[in-house]
Amino acid sequence: MCALRMRPDEIDLDAALVRRLVAAQFPHWASLPVTRVTSSGTENAMFRLGDDKVVRLPRHPGAVDGVAHERHWLARLGPRLPVPTPTPLALGEPGEGFPWPWCVYGWLDGRNPVAGALERPGELAADLGAFVAGLRRLDPDGGPASNRGVPLARRDGDTRAALAQLAGRIDTAAVTARWEEALRAPGHTGAPVWAHADLSPGNVLVAGGRLAAVLDFGCVGVGDPAVDLIVAWNLLPAEARGAFRAAVGADDAEWARGRGWALSISLIQLPYYWETNPPLAENSRHVISEILAEPR
C-alpha cells in the first residue's frame, strides 16, 4: 500500500477501526479476521474480511460520493457484464469515529497485473476488449453522466498545467505535440454509452494471465467511451493493442481520443504522485514513454 499520506484531508484507517465498525454494525461477521489489502489506490482503503469479503472505505472527503454511486450501479451493471465484478453485500454507516458511509463487497481472487510483465498479453487484450464492448452494449438510459465522458478539450487547461510542472523531468515538447494531436481528433458523435472510466492496472485482476475481474466502478457513467481505451497504454504492450482495439471496435478518431485520455490522466497524476504514490507515478511514466514511442 502507499506508505505516505497523499492528501492533507486524508484520514487514518487501520484494521482495529474496521473491526470495531464491523462488530458494531454487522455483529454476525464480528469474529472474522480483518487484514489490510496492499493497494496503490488513492480514493479508498480495502480490508479483507474473512476469506470471502472485503471492506472498502473512503480515504478522504472527495471519495465519499463514490461509495453510494458505485454500490448503486454495480448492483445493476455487474451481473450483466462478461467479467466478474465486486458484489455489494452491505452498506455501513458512519460510526466508531469514522465519519462516512462504507461498503462490504464479495472478495474476488486474482492479482493486479504489471505493465511490461504480462503472461498472456494477447489473450488479456481480447478479454479487456470483451469487457469494454460488453459494458458499451448495456442500455445507457437513466445512467449518470461520466465525468470522463467529455470532450478532451475540457482537459486542456489541467493537462498543460501539469506539463508546466513537469518541465525538465520529461520531454515536454514531444509530449505537448502528442497532446495537441489528440485535441485535433474528431469528437464523439454517437449516442452516450457506458464507460468504466478508470481502467488502470490497479482496477484489474488477472489469474493465469487472463482477466479475472474488474474493480472500482466509482467513475462509471455514460458519455464518450473513448476513456476506456486508456488500458491500451497503461497496461497492454504495443503488440497486443491491435487485439484490444479490434475487440472494442474503435475507429481512428476514437483511438486518438483514447490515446489523449491516457496521456492526460498520466500527465496530471505524475507531478501529484511523484513522491506520494510511486506505483502510480511509475505507471504514468510508462504511459508517456509508450505513447512517445508510437509512430506518428
As averages over each run of 10 residues, the pLDDT of the chain (296 residues) reads 58 95 98 90 91 96 92 95 96 97 97 96 98 98 96 97 97 98 97 97 97 96 98 98 97 98 97 89 97 94
| 255 occurs within a structural domain | yes
Are 133 and 277 in a shared domain?
yes
Are 263 and 215 in a shared domain?
yes
Of 83, 106, 129, which one is at a domain's C-terminal end?
A: 106
List Cα–Cα distances, 73 to 151, 191, 220, in angstroms: 23, 20, 8
| 10 occurs within a structural domain | no
Are 157 and 43 in a shared domain?
no
Residue with cell 472494442: 248
pLDDT of residue 124: 98
pLDDT of residue 3: 41
Are 255 and 153 in a shared domain?
yes
| 5 occurs within a structural domain | no
Are 215 and 267 in a shared domain?
yes
H helices, E strands: number in the chain: 9, 9
Are 84 and 161 in a shared domain?
no
* Residue 116 neighbours by CB distance under 10 Å: 10
Task: State how many domains the chain has.
Answer: 2
| 60 occurs within a structural domain | yes
| 140 occurs within a structural domain | yes
* Secondary structure element (H or E) that encloses residue 88, with its range: strand 88-92
Are 140 and 244 in a shared domain?
yes
Residue with cell 482477466: 211
Residue with cell 451493471: 77
| 7 occurs within a structural domain | no
**CA–CA gap between residue 285 and residue 91 (Å, rounded):** 37
| 4 occurs within a structural domain | no
CATH of the domain at 231: 3.90.1200.10
Q: Where are the alpha helices (DSSP H) in the chain?
A: 15-25, 65-77, 121-137, 156-165, 172-183, 231-234, 241-248, 252-273, 278-293
Are 276 and 168 in a shared domain?
yes
Are 146 and 286 in a shared domain?
yes
pLDDT of residue 40: 62
Of 76, 106, 136, which one is at a domain's C-terminal end?
A: 106
| 114 occurs within a structural domain | no
The grid coordinates listed for 211 are: 482477466
Are 39 and 69 in a shared domain?
yes
pTM attached to this predicted model: 0.93
Are 60 and 175 in a shared domain?
no
| Domain enclosing residue 33, as ranges | 15-106
Q: What is the DSSP-derived secondary structure letter of residue 187?
A: P
Q: What is the DSSP-derived secondary structure letter of residue 100?
A: S
pLDDT of residue 7: 63
Are 23 and 134 in a shared domain?
no
CATH of the domain at 40: 3.30.200.20
Of 56, 83, 106, which one is at a domain's C-terminal end?
A: 106
